[in-house]
């Protein structure tokens, strides 16, 4: 079995990894079996010993091999209990879902948020990622077809893929929004982006696979990826979004299998990927056979028609993109409904895994989402764009009037977030200001939470209050 493929474009160490994994799948390598030594494999395959060591190290890190000093490398016996391509990774990193270390600032934020339950306690919470409650739509529950809910809950297709009428509404929404015609079988309803990412990681990726994420990014510290034992590589984002040149450099260094992007009004930077970059990123992914996961959570929150809010999916002619959508940034996180658009075989696979995990999602939030999309969406989004644009302007004015020398930023073109940088020599002043704001019940998200720098801050301008504009340098 020790022959590498002659036509593969993968790095040699990755070819050796694939060869060993395929040997386990085919039964050519059995649990507990000792592999040839590094030197022997080097001679057998006509490759450098360092290449064999690289492959063995990665397989050991993933738990596929056990290396015994003075004895050799063995197939891990525990792998006998697993499928060669498990639908669910039952052996995540032990610390994957344990609570991450939180600094005193984050703990203080948690305490302040608990106190907001008292109606007399006012908190200016610009750290949250959610839309301000005052901007959420009012959905009249009396208009919902309650007499159908029980029968819908028992429908097999609804359990597997999601409510038929909601998928129809999403199908129409995508056609009208980006001009793409998709089949209903290409849509899977989820409880939001988090569940979508979990399903993708557990179904289409294996422990040890390499993925790319933007930096800074909301994807950066997701426990979902750590729980799946994925190797995360970061690609810098500037004011125009992900840099294709940096993406190319990353691909040359690592065998990326997937890239996760939030290209329109990105969280946390608010950047918008230009048309050229969209096409270039897609071309690079196509050329290197890399799946692209596009999270389109904010694109409808544009402040100007001149901003190109076309998703990358629009340019996809090779089914290279798995497209994620969600309504949580429009109707709130309490109605957890999102969707995955992908080729039908992938949707069926994801749906099967989801059913094994939780048996499907409730019909009620799907009905609420359907009502919003079909009855309120257009009016609410138009109103929301105007409200958010005004709030973004007010936040920028407040920062410029009171902290002109401290914060540097590009004014938001849409979305929910303003991302700021401070000069390095102002680090101490920035730290003191953040602590002063905390005492005044003003909270923000530090850039470090997204893999950013200590001198970077994300403001959620949807939560900005006009009360702050009336206080001239009160918090300076």
> 158 and 129 in one domain?
no
10-14, 100-104, 206-210, 352-356: least confidently modelled range: 100-104
Give pLDDT, residue 148.
62
CA distance 366 to 155: 14
Helix (H) or strand (E) holding 32: none
334-346 pLDDT per residue, tens: 888 999 999 999 9
> 46 and 174 in one domain?
no
Structure tokens that stand for 71 in this block:
């004895």
Residue 4 resides in a domain: no
Residue 394 resides in a domain: yes
Give mean pLDDT, residues 162-187: 93
Residue 242 pLDDT > 90: yes
Specify the pairing of strand 231-238 against strand 210-215: parallel
Structure tokens that stand for 35 in this block:
């592999």
Does residue 331 contact residue 139 with C-beta atoms inside 8 Å?
A: yes
Give pLDDT, residue 178.
84
CA distance 357 to 258: 23
Give pLDDT, residue 79.
45
197-206, 224-233, 378-387: least confidently modelled range: 224-233
Residue 155 pLDDT > 80: no
Supply the range of the domain harboring residue 156: 144-377
> 393 and 366 in one domain?
no
> 428 and 447 in one domain?
yes
Reading phi first (left if > 0) and then psi (alpha if -120 to 50, else beta), residue 329 is in alpha
Strand ranges (E), 313-400 = 321-326, 338-341
CA distance 108 to 134: 24
**What's the burial of 147, exposed, middle or buried (CB within 10 Å: 0-12/13-18/19+)?**
exposed
> 197 and 164 in one domain?
yes
268 prior amide bond cis, ω within 30: yes
CA distance 336 to 332: 8
Specify which of 118-132, 256-270, 321-335, 362-376 reaches the highest per-range mean pLDDT: 256-270
107 prior amide bond cis, ω within 30: no
Total domain count for the chain? 3
> 397 and 355 in one domain?
no
CA dist 302 → 215, 274, 297, 307 (Å): 22, 14, 12, 7
Give pLDDT, residue 332.
87
Residue 470 pLDDT > 70: no
Specify the pairing of strand 291-296 against strand 256-261: parallel
> 222 and 280 in one domain?
yes
> 120 and 183 in one domain?
no
- Average pLDDT in the chain: 87
Token pair 């429009």 is found at 330
Give mean pLDDT, residues 382-401: 96
Long-range contacts, stretch 25-29, CB < 8 angstroms, 24+ apart: 25/84, 25/85, 28/1, 29/1, 29/75
> 187 and 320 in one domain?
yes
44-70 pLDDT per residue, tens: 998 988 889 989 988 887 788 888 877
Give the end of a domain, one of 377, 406, 432.
377
Residue 196 pLDDT > 90: yes
Give mean pLDDT, residues 203-224: 90
> 369 and 392 in one domain?
no
In sequence order, what are the residues at sequence separation of 6 or more whose Cβ sits closer than 8 angstroms to the Cβ of residue 143? 371, 375
Give pLDDT, residue 403.
93
Does residue 131 contact residue 330 with C-beta atoms inside 8 Å?
A: yes
137-146, 204-213, 338-347, 412-421: least confidently modelled range: 137-146
Q: What percentage of the chain has pLDDT greater than the value 70?
A: 89
Query: Per-residue confidence at 157, pLDDT binned at 50, 70, 90?
Result: confident
Residue 462 pLDDT > 60: yes
Residue 210 resides in a domain: yes
109-152 pLDDT per residue, tens: 988 888 887 767 788 999 999 999 999 998 776 666 666 665 66
Tell me the three state secondary structure of residue 383.
helix
Q: What is the CATH number of the domain that holds 155?
A: 3.40.640.10
Give pLDDT, residue 141.
67
Q: What is the CATH number of the domain that holds 439?
A: 3.90.1150.10
> 150 and 125 in one domain?
no
Give pLDDT, residue 89.
52
Query: Per-residue confidence at 468, pLDDT binned at 50, 70, 90?
Result: confident
CA distance 121 to 107: 18
Give mean pLDDT, residues 30-44: 89
Give pLDDT, residue 227.
78
């Amino acid at each position: 079995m020790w022959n590498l493929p002659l036509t593969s474009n993968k790095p040699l160490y990755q070819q050796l990894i694939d060869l060993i994994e395929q040997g386990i799948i085919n039964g050519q390598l059995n649990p507990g079996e000792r592999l040839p030594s590094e030197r022997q494999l080097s001679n057998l395959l006509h490759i450098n010993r360092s290449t064999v060591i690289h492959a063995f190290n990665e397989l050991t890190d993933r738990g596929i091999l056990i290396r015994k000093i003075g004895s050799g490398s063995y197939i891990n016996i525990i792998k006998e209990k697993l499928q060669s391509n498990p639908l669910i990774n039952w052996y995540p990193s032990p610390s994957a879902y344990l609570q991450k270390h939180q600094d005193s600032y984050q703990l203080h934020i948690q305490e302040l948020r608990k106190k907001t339950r008292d109606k007399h306690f006012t908190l200016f919470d610009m750290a949250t990622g959610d839309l301000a409650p005052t901007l959420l739509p009012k959905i009249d529950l009396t208009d919902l077809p309650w007499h159908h809910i029980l029968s819908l809950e028992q429908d097999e297709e609804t359990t597997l893929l999601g409510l038929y009428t909601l998928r129809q509404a999403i199908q129409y929404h995508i056609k009208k929004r980006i001009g793409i015609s998709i089949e209903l079988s290409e849509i899977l309803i989820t409880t939001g982006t988090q569940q979508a990412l979990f399903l993708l990681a557990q179904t289409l990726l294996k422990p040890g696979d390499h993925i790319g994420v933007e930096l800074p990014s909301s994807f950066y510290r997701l426990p979902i990826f750590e729980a799946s034992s994925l190797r995360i590589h970061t690609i810098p984002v500037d004011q125009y979004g992900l840099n294709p040149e940096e993406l190319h450099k990353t691909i040359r260094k690592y065998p990326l299998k997937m890239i996760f992007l939030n290209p329109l009004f990105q969280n946390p930077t608010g950047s918008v990927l230009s048309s050229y970059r969209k096409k270039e990123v897609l071309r690079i992914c196509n050329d290197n056979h890399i799946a692209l996961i596009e999270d389109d959570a904010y694109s409808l929150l544009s402040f100007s028609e001149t901003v190109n809010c076309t998703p990358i999916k629009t340019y996809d002619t090779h089914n290279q993109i798995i497209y994620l959508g969600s309504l949580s940034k429009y109707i709130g996180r309490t109605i957890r409904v999102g969707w995955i658009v992908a080729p039908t075989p992938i949707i069926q696979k994801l749906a099967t895994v989801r059913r094994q995990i939780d048996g499907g999602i409730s019909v009620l939030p799907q009905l609420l989402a359907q009502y919003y999309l079909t009855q309120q969406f257009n009016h609410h989004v138009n109103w929301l764009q105007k409200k958010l644009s005004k709030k973004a302007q007010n936040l920028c004015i407040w920062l410029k009037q009171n902290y002109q020398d401290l914060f540097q930023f590009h004014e938001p073109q849409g979305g929910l977030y303003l991302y700021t940088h401070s000069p390095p020599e102002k680090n101490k002043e920035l730290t003191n200001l953040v602590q002063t704001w905390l005492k005044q019940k003003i909270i923000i998200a530090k850039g470090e939470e997204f893999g950013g720098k200590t001198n970077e801050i994300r403001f959620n301008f949807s939560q900005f209050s006009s009360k702050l504009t009336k206080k001239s340098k009160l918090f300076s």
